Amino acid sequence: ILWVFVGFVFLLTGAVFGDSVQQDQPVHSEKEGDSVNLTCTYSTSSSYINLHWYRKHPNGAPEYILQRGAKSNSGDDHTAEFAKNKFDSRTDSSTTTLTIKTVQLSDTALYYCALWIA
Distance in Å from the first CA to the final CA of the chain: 44
**Per-residue pLDDT tens over the stretch 1-44:** 344 455 554 454 554 556 777 777 666 677 888 888 999 888 88
Give the domain extent around 32: 3-52+59-117
**Per-residue pLDDT tens over the stretch 63-82:** 999 999 998 888 889 999 99
Number of domains in the chain: 1
63 CB-side CA count, 13 A: 15
pTM: 0.82
Report the CATH number that the domain containing residue 12 is assigned in CATH: 2.60.40.10
